[in-house]
Amino acid sequence: MDNLYSSNRRASAFYVAPMMEITDRYCRNFHRVLSKRAILYTEMITSAAIVHGDRERLLGYENAEHPVVLQLGGSDPIQMAEAAAIGEQFGYDEININVGCPSDRVKSGRFGACLMAEPELVAECVATMRSRVNVPVTVKCRIGIDRDDSFEPFERFVRIVATGGCDTFVVHARKAWLDGLSPKENRNIPPLRYEYVDQIKALYPDKAFILNGGLLSHEQALDSSRSLDGVMMGREVCSNPWLLTQVDHLYYGEEKDQRSRFEIVEQTYPYIESQLGSGVPLGRIVKPMLGLFHAEAGGRLWRRSLSESMWLDGAGLQELQCALDTVRQTADKLASVRP
């Protein structure tokens, strides 16, 4: 069946990375206004929370967000399969297992990056989950977890996890050092080794490998992933979400997006109004928009004006409109002094 989701998973697919406290439903709705085709991720949600918690709060989302991947944290195959089945019932297009998060909390729960040392358990999770759901079950991992810089442990991980039926690996192409670095340091300090992802693809050409980590532009992403199946960008999309407006053209061959940033903001109004009407504070809805005018005339004023007003009691569309007016005035002023 060739639906939007499967056609999005062609060569050079583009994913927005899962990010805790960032890629919530409000963020994904904004990203969807910027790109119809980018594949979006939830934040990581633990299998225990889904099985025992408030499912609607954890998993609820808007239809417009598709294609969207649910990322799970956990390592109990039965519970992971149960959580995957619940995710499938909610309509998620893919279920992904987090094997890359290095935080101590996650490590003490025996999931995230420490599972790089337990490929047999990850394979069992994949197999058990696949026995319960029809949507793809994929893995997001690192290239290793210790200070040994060799390729072999990564190859072994992929080989064993593939036996569970995983056919797509998203690879954050640096090791996680679990002996003292904070999660933030673990996203910056261990060196990036994109060549390991090329090497693994050459060994397993039938598996899909998505490159992630330190990608700062589409040019770099496309150039670094020539032999691969797609790319994933995280932090750069947060600081410069405008990047997403080029995705449909560059990765999926659609017409160039001609919209202005002003038009994009205005296109978010109906969604924002509906969320405000349900009692969601403006700040939660528009936080992902703070970087929209990144490096543009008036961009700093936009960020300042919006971040000062968006959490005020009763803040609504007028605050957004006001921030937009400040950018427009700055841009007009600049245009009038240009020769």
Ligand X SMILES: Cc1cc2nc3c(=O)[nH]c(=O)nc-3n(C[C@H](O)[C@H](O)[C@H](O)COP(=O)(O)O)c2cc1C
Q: Which residues bind ligand X (CB under 6 A)?
A: 17-20, 22, 43-44, 71, 98, 100-101, 140, 172, 187, 212-215, 233-236
Which of the following is catalytic: 101, 141, 166, 238?
101
Cβ proximity to ligand X: between 140 and 327 the closer is 140
Cβ proximity to ligand X: between 224 and 330 the closer is 224
Q: Is 27 a catalytic residue?
A: no
Cβ proximity to ligand X: between 233 and 265 the closer is 233
Residue 62 phi/psi, 5° resolution? -95, 145
| Shortest CB 325 distance to ligand X, Å | 31
Cβ atoms of 160 and 120 closer than 8 Å: yes
Distance in angstroms (rounded) separating the CA atoms of residues 63 and 208: 26
Cβ proximity to ligand X: between 218 and 330 the closer is 218
Neighbours of 46 (CB within 10 A): 20
Query: Which is nearest to 87 in space by CA: 38, 54, 50?
Result: 50
Q: What region does 91 belong to: left with phi over 0, alpha with psi -120 to 50, or beta?
A: left
Cβ proximity to ligand X: between 224 and 305 the closer is 224
Cβ proximity to ligand X: between 72 and 289 the closer is 72
| Shortest CB 262 distance to ligand X, Å | 27
| Shortest CB 276 distance to ligand X, Å | 26
Distance in angstroms (rounded) separating the CA atoms of residues 72 and 84: 8
68, β-bridge pairs: 40
Give me the residue label for tokens 């090497």: 199
* Active site positions, annotated: 101
